[in-house]
Structure formats: C-alpha cells, structure tokens
Chain A
Amino acid sequence: MQLNLEVNGQVLQADDVWAGESLLYVLRERLGCPGSKNACEQGECGSCSVYLDGTLVCSCLVLAAQAEGRAVVTVEGLAGAGLLHPVQEAFLAAGAVQCGFCTPGLIVATHDLIARNPAPSDPEIREALAGNLCRCTGYVKILDAVRLAAEKAATS
C-alpha cells in the first residue's frame, strides 16, 4: 500500500506499507522521522506523542492508513530546521532531560498543554502529562520545565 501524508508541513509518500502498520512505524522506519520514540506500543508511555490534524495522539495507536491525507506534526516540526522551540529550550534550561527517551513525547504534550492552557496549575500539568512516563523518574525537573515554558510563552 502507498500512503501520502503531510509531515511537518511537507507532503511525503510512504511505499510498501503493510495494512496493519502504525503511524509511528511509518514515521520512524519509512519517512526518516525518528524523533517520536517507540517504547510501549500500547499507548501507556506517551513517547510517540504527535499531533494528528492538530490533536495530540499516541502515534503507535494510529493505523498509518488512518493518517492518509492528514497532517502530522512531530517533535521535529515544532521549531524551524536547526532551531529549538521555547518548550525545548525550557527542558534544557531546567535540566529536565536525563536519558532523553521520553523527552520528545513530553515536549509535544507540553506544547499541546500550553496551547490549550497558557497558565496551567500544577494539578493541571500533572493531568496533562499523565500519559507520558519518564522511567528515570525525573518528574520534578520536568514539572519545573513545564512551568518555565509557560512563563516564557506568557512573556514572549
């Protein structure tokens, strides 16, 4: 099966896609976008979080064929080439990255949170990130980073 989808603003074509493949697999293995991470493949960890037509989803739970003709934004597409988005800068500044595996998903989920709720309370941050697991358990710094990102967004 051949699929056409828009990824980070570019229309891309994936060939030889098996009907049961996930969007995550197609992004990573066929379209050269390895930013979204593959860990649990069951929607538990959030490492594969992307936007699908502007909605935050786990790309491992989207059948690739469901994304045909739709717009996907991955962590690679949040800022311009070679640049960092303020959410990414906040994670660096706060020391919220340990092994880094959960970071892309947390960045996209935080980006979505701040777009919906520019001044989230701590319980709102915890609720918004409930589907993103950090097995280094670096949540204190991650929460620091989200607060910092919200502050930066408010003052910019």
Chain B
Amino acid sequence: MDIYRPASWSEALEVKRGAPESVPLAGGTDLMVDLNFGRARPQALLDLTRLAELAGWDRDNGRVRIGAGVTFTTLIAELAPELPGLAIASRTVGSPQIRNRATLGGNLGTASPAGDALPPLLAAGAEVEVASAARSRRIPLEDFFIAPKVTALEGGELIAAIVVPVADGPQQYSKIGTRNAMVIATVSFALALHPGRRRVGTGIGSAAPRPLRATEAEDFIGGVLAEHDLWSSGAPIPEPASARFGELVAAAAQPIDDVRGTVAYRRHALAVLARRTLAWAWSDYRSAA
C-alpha cells in the first residue's frame, strides 16, 4: 500500500490524476476502521489533512463555501448562525474525539445513507464542488449520491467544497438511534423553511439507498402554506396538513429491514420526525415574525 501526502490542493489533484485508484483519507473516522479490521486494503491512500485549501470556510453572496476538510467541531463552533440545521446535525455526530477529526467532505465521500450531515444539506439546497486536475464543476447534492457508498465523482476527481445557501428561515434536524451519543441513525430527517421562496426543504437519512429529498411532501406543504397565506399570517399549520406531510415523507422513503430497524418502524418514525420538525420550525418562524 502506497501513501501520498500532498502539501497543496494542486499537488493532490495531480496525484489523483496519476493514481486514480488512490483512496482519499481525511479525518479517518470511517476509513481507518476498515483498515484496522482488515476490511479495506486500498492500493494507495491519499492523505488530505495537510491541505490548507480544504480547511476553511467563507461566506460570499448569500452562500457559505465550506472546505471539504472542515470538521464537525468547526461546523458547530462557527457555522450555527448561517447553517443551523447542519449545526444541529453535527452535534449528533459521534463524540468530541470523532467530531474533532471527521470532516464534511468525508461525510459526503463516504456516502453512507446514514451520514448525519446529508439530510440538512439536502434540505438547504447544497451543491458539491468537485475538481480534477483538468476542471472544476458543481453538482447538486441530490444528484451526488448514486447508491450506498457510491457517488457521482469520476476518476481523478476529489471533493473540494460544499456550497450551501445561508439559512433564510428556521431549520431543524432530528435523528433516532439507540443512544444519545456515538450512534448511527436508524432514521433521520431534516427540514428547512425558505420564507423568501415560499418553499419548504426536506432531507431523509437512513431510509433509502441514498439520502433523499421528499419532493412530493415539499410541494404539498408549500402549497398548504401558500393557499392559506400562512407565511404572512403566521397562523398555526392545520393538524391534518402536518399529518399528511408526515405521511408523504414516510411514503418517499425506501427503507429496508436491518439490524437497526424495520421497514415499518422506519416509516412510522419518519412520519413522526417530519411532523415534529415542521412544528418546531414553524413555531420558530412564528415567534421570529
């Protein structure tokens, strides 16, 4: 097994061009487990932890561009005002030791359906900035995940950054697991209110081969809020509408039975999480109005 330790982003892209089989390694909280247990023996590792270009974030024109190497600890400490949903989800990741190492780019690259950062990024309308030695391109996050642990990255490409619109309304995230810390989601759900566009964004985790938006549920609840002009009045959302929203979110999922939960449980829990996060976010919206 070879190891490449580039000192700059351009050098990393050159390495990846010459050795497309090399596996990127950032915080190591996923890949090192597979190495320690002998489950992965890549031909080569590409260490990304020395790249200053990946380590920071900046805000420009209503968007936050987060370097792929930014850790969950940094997301929590620095980005809660701009990206509250992502910050809530980040607080549920692992333990302090894990959050100090695990990176946002790693969460995307690992492409687990259970990745905690993925539902809030979907709900917020994030894009992934990927680059190769030849070019850079942006991919809408919902098109980035193909299957469990499979992404739209092509040979020679690395994740450079995640670009997320700054929150224009309340955001929520909720996750079910067997304990409060150090736990992978049985299901998770993220919701973002977009009062400016009169839209509601959603993200479903751990209930399909890839993280998903519940677009039918988004259209439905957006229609209810518009029809009754609730965005302006701030009146409560009618109970049948939030119940229907929960049903549509559950229907959008494609869960499986596994060690963490059953199909029936996951659908039921998703409907509950969807109603609950909608109620929390709407309550925040009304009290801010």
Contacts and interface: CB of A to CB of B under 8 A. Distances in A.
Contact of B97 (A19, A46, A68): A46
A20 B1 contact: yes
Given A22-B32, A60-B36, A62-B32, A43 B1 contact: no
For chain B, the bracket of interface size reads: 20 to 34
B32 A60 contact: yes
Contact of A109 (B3, B29, B94, B97): B97
Kindly name the residue among A49, A61, A62 whose own CB sees the greatest number of chain B CB atoms within 10 A. A61
Contacts of A22: 32, 35-36
Contact of B181 (A58, A60, A61, A127): A127
Contacts of A20: 1, 35, 41, 45
B41 A42 contact: no
Contacts, number: 91
Contacts of B41: 20
B41 to A, nearest CB: 7
A61 B34 CA distance: 10
Contact of A58 (B2, B35, B47, B101): B101
Nearest to B27: A61
B182 A131 contact: yes
A20 B43 CA distance: 11
Given A19-B45, A42-B36, A61 B29 contact: yes
A144 interface: no
Nearest to B40: A20
A112 interface: yes
A68 to B, nearest CB: 7
A61 B25 CA distance: 11
Contacts of A44: 182
A139 interface: no
A41 interface: yes
B3 A65 contact: yes
A22 B94 CA distance: 19
Contacts of A66: 5, 25, 28, 47, 49
Nearest to B44: A19
B263 interface: no
Contacts of B5: 65-66, 68
B180 A42 contact: no
A61 B95 CA distance: 13
Kindly name the residue among B37, B47, B49 whose own CB sees the greatest number of chain A CB atoms within 10 A. B49
A13 interface: no
Contacts of B96: 56, 109, 112, 127-128, 130-131
18 contacts: A1-B3, A20-B35, A20-B45, A41-B36, A43-B94, A56-B96, A57-B101, A60-B36, A61-B27, A61-B28, A61-B33, A61-B97, A63-B35, A66-B28, A66-B47, A127-B96, A127-B181, A130-B96
Interface of A: 1, 18-20, 22, 41-44, 46, 49, 55-58, 60-63, 65-66, 68, 109, 112, 127-128, 130-132
Given A43-B29, A131-B97, 19 more contacts: A19-B45, A20-B1, A20-B35, A20-B45, A43-B94, A46-B95, A56-B100, A57-B97, A58-B97, A58-B101, A60-B36, A61-B28, A63-B3, A63-B25, A65-B45, A112-B96, A127-B181, A131-B94, A132-B95
